[in-house]
A and B are shown apart, each in its own frame.
Chain A
Amino acid sequence: MKGLANKHYVTRIFLVLAVLLGLALVVRRLLVPEGFGETGFYRAQAPDEEAQREVVHQGKQVCARCHEEQFLMHEHDVHRTVECEVCHGNGAEHVKARAKSLPKEQGYIFKELEQSTCLKCHERIYARPKLFPTIRVDEHYALVGVQESAVKCQECHSPHKPLFLGKPAAEARLHPLIHQCSECHEEKTVETKTRPSDHIVVFECRDCHGVLASDHSQRKHASLRCTACHQVHKESEFATRIYKNSSNDFCLMCHLKKAFKAEGKIPLLESFEAHIDDVSMTDEDKGKRCVDCHLNEAIHDVKTLPKVSSQKVDK
């Protein structure tokens, strides 16, 4: 019976514990946010809150709703994989200004592209994939006789329609993957020839198209690599497609007279029409392409072409 005399101690302990437990429950209620633990050790509504955030990059389909003309042109070209917003900046504010929920001035979109915009992708950097078209500005400008180093790329190359691969893939021929020595080696090394085992697959165009290549080396375009006109597009690990660029626009990219091009470096035309008048073509001849007259003399003799490359496909 002696123990029961101190009963109030036990009661007090239990009371204190109960109060502490109650307090802990209240504190927990206050600290643990709503929804916590329903789907895991996190607030269940957190993903949905994150999902509500506004989209900034609109995507080219949205651009196409107003700029259909540019979109259609762009869709048929090699640059079709480049979203509008890569060069023009994101369209979030532009779209809002269209819907008049932002002042018009804020909706302007970046349009005057600098040389550096193009060079972010197309400057020759050793780490870039070898088949990706890259240039060094000084070399490229020396080749086509451009005198001012600040001339913008789009003076000759339209960014929406840069001509290369402007044709459906079906019109281009499948071709085994070729690597050219010059893609990796600045100068031809002895190693290249003596230790081909060091390499994956090394082909030069001339390995198969020897007659054509040696004929080409006698012509005015000898300094150009085959791939300058025959664009190579990698389709898979082993195969490429070869696109032949023989439209007049393609030739005129180099041969059209521009204020910034040096005279005498390469033959320059005022315009294709003026050239036709100069050489007094008949009306019938006017539908001709540059290569119809100049192929043999300037590029490579048509007689040396392999039989499959009939010119029929190119229009």
Chain B
Amino acid sequence: MKEDKDTIATKDFDPERRVILKGTVATALAIAFGSLPRKVVASYKAQDHWYGFVVDLTKCIGCGACVRACKAENDVPDGFFRTWVERYTFLKDGKVIVDSPDGGLNGFQDNLNIPKSVIAKTYFVPKLCNHCATAPCVQVCPVGATFVSQDGVVLVDKKHCIGCGYCIQACPYGSRFLSPHGYADKCTLCYHRIRKGDKPACVLVCPVGARLFGDLKDKESNINKVLAATRHGVLKPELGTTPKCFYIGLDQEVR
């Protein structure tokens, strides 16, 4: 936000308003409370959870809010993505065109210059780490720096990673990258948020509810209800990676 200094808001810091706010103890308390850093849930038992993710392709509008939120939340370096959005365009002659300008960071434009009469169907596909239960990236790590945590999130131990890049080659979904800081980096399902009881940033900001996060072990969770009620699939099921990121409205051409 720093480069947007010219177009910043000033109303929230209107001095008169501040005086009014200061006057009420309740508001002051609310401000103090609101600014407290959220705490990791102390009584958390990792074994009791098994997290999954649902992407509803019929809802995604390709606005890129998830990509921008992920960048900010996780300080993802320029040119790298923990999550990104692709646009699949299926032509009537069977050809499939996939594009993802800047990972969908600034949204999409109707700029493919393909006449609508030759397009059979087209939709957006948000991508992220599939958090495979049998993750190939975990199998190849020579030092045990990447692992499936007890609650089902594929994480990277930044302190322990030697940056060899084997995991980046092993991931069939292209979800990993070598961070300029010297370790392999990837989507953590916003582990620092979910352990505090928050949603991952991309799920939080999705304006149309195309992204859902939840606990697969909890029978009453939103994600289990959605999966029970809708037809869904996973990416590249033939690889046996047992992804826990489920897609609603998926075509087999989406890989």
Residues of A within 8 A of B (CB): 33, 36, 39-43, 46-59, 62, 65-67, 79, 81-83, 85-86, 88-90, 93-96, 98-99, 101, 104, 108-112, 119-121, 123-129, 132, 185-186
A113 CB to closest chain B CB (Å) equals: 9
Q: Are B201 and A56 in contact (CB under 8 A)?
A: yes
Chain B residues numbered 144-199 whose CB sits less than 8 Å from any CB in chain A: 144-151, 153, 155, 157, 159-160, 188, 191-193, 195-196, 198
Q: A98 vs B31: C-alpha distance in the bound complex, in angstroms?
A: 7
Contacts of B253 in A (CB 8 A): none
Q: Are A108 and B207 in contact (CB under 8 A)?
A: no
Contacts A53-B191, A89-B72, A108-B13 aside, 8 further interface pairs with beta carbons under 8 A come to: A43-B157, A50-B188, A55-B38, A90-B72, A96-B35, A121-B107, A124-B110, A125-B108
B64 CB to closest chain A CB (Å) equals: 6
Which of the candidate stretches B115-123, B129-137, B233-241 sits at the interface with the other chain? B115-123
The answer to the question of B218 belonging to the interface, with a C-beta cut-off of 8 Å to chain A, is: no
Closest-by-CB residue of B relative to A31 is B143
Give the top 8 A-B pairs by smallest Cβ distance, nearest first: A111-B9, A99-B35, A53-B192, A42-B147, A51-B195, A108-B8, A120-B107, A46-B157
Contacts of B13 in A (CB 8 A): 104, 108
- Number of A-B residue pairs, CB cutoff 8 Å, is 183
The answer to the question of B140 belonging to the interface, with a C-beta cut-off of 8 Å to chain A, is: no
A55-B192 contact given A93-B1, A126-B110, CB 8 Å threshold:
yes
A132 CB to closest chain B CB (Å) equals: 5
A81-B191 contact given A42-B147, A65-B30, CB 8 Å threshold:
no
Q: Are A127 and B108 in contact (CB under 8 A)?
A: yes
Partner of B145, one of A42, A62, A67, A98: A42
A200 CB to closest chain B CB (Å) equals: 11
Contacts of B146 in A (CB 8 A): 42
A57-B35 contact given A46-B160, A109-B9, A111-B7, CB 8 Å threshold:
no
Q: Are B10 and A125 in contact (CB under 8 A)?
A: no
Q: A120 vs B205: C-alpha distance in the bound complex, in angstroms?
A: 14
The answer to the question of B242 belonging to the interface, with a C-beta cut-off of 8 Å to chain A, is: no
Closest-by-CB residue of B relative to A66 is B31
Q: List 21 A-B contacts (CB under 8 A).
A: A43-B144, A47-B46, A49-B159, A51-B196, A52-B40, A52-B192, A55-B192, A65-B33, A65-B34, A86-B205, A90-B72, A99-B35, A110-B1, A111-B7, A121-B61, A125-B108, A126-B110, A127-B87, A127-B108, A127-B122, A129-B58
A112-B110 contact given A51-B192, A55-B196, A66-B21, CB 8 Å threshold:
no
Contacts of B124 in A (CB 8 A): 127-128
Interface of A is mostly: loop
Closest-by-CB residue of B relative to A85 is B205
Closest-by-CB residue of B relative to A61 is B34
Q: Are B119 and A66 in contact (CB under 8 A)?
A: no
Q: Are B63 and A120 in contact (CB under 8 A)?
A: yes
Partner of B193, one of A55, A101, A127: A55
Q: Are B192 and A81 in contact (CB under 8 A)?
A: no
A188 CB to closest chain B CB (Å) equals: 13
Q: Are B155 and A46 in contact (CB under 8 A)?
A: yes
- For chain B, give the interface size range: 35 or more
A82-B207 contact given A47-B155, A110-B8, CB 8 Å threshold:
yes
Q: Are A41 and B12 in contact (CB under 8 A)?
A: no
Q: A112 vs B9: C-alpha distance in the bound complex, in angstroms?
A: 7
Q: Are A54 and B192 in contact (CB under 8 A)?
A: yes
Q: A86 vs B64: C-alpha distance in the bound complex, in angstroms?
A: 10
A121-B63 contact given A86-B205, A186-B116, CB 8 Å threshold:
yes
Q: Are A41 and B147 in contact (CB under 8 A)?
A: yes
A80 CB to closest chain B CB (Å) equals: 10
Q: A53 vs B198: C-alpha distance in the bound complex, in angstroms?
A: 13
Partner of A109, one of B8, B30, B65, B188: B8
Chain B residues numbered 64-123 whose CB sits less than 8 Å from any CB in chain A: 64-65, 69, 72-73, 87-89, 106-110, 116, 119, 122-123
Q: A186 vs B118: C-alpha distance in the bound complex, in angstroms?
A: 13
Q: Are B204 and A59 in contact (CB under 8 A)?
A: yes
The answer to the question of B52 belonging to the interface, with a C-beta cut-off of 8 Å to chain A, is: no
Partner of B207, one of A66, A81, A94: A81
Contacts of B25 in A (CB 8 A): none
Contacts of A65 in B (CB 8 A): 30-31, 33-34
Q: Are A99 and B116 in contact (CB under 8 A)?
A: no
Q: Are B205 and A55 in contact (CB under 8 A)?
A: no
Contacts of B157 in A (CB 8 A): 42-43, 46
